[in-house]
Amino acid sequence: MNYKLTIEVDEARLREATGDNESSIEFLISQEMGWVEDSGIYLTDTEKMPDLEA
């Protein structure tokens, strides 16, 4: 089955947590989502979306 998920990323917090200020955000998301794969959920695509207006 395929599902579409939308996530919001705090870039500064992600970079601080990973200690990586060089890699692309897409790479860091993929790297951090790796732990989810143990549950059978796989990240297959990362696409930047327009910022949501609050």
Closest Cα to residue 33, out of 48, 18, 50? 18
* Structure confidence at residue 35 (pLDDT): 84
Whether the predicted pLDDT of 6 surpasses 70? yes
* Structure confidence at residue 54 (pLDDT): 58
Q: What is each CA distance from 49 to 19, 28, 31, 35, 41, in whole angstroms?
A: 24, 16, 19, 23, 21
Model confidence pLDDT, tens digit, residues 10-46: 999 999 999 999 999 999 999 998 888 889 988 888 8
Q: Quickly tell me which residue has 């601080």 as its tokens.
A: 16
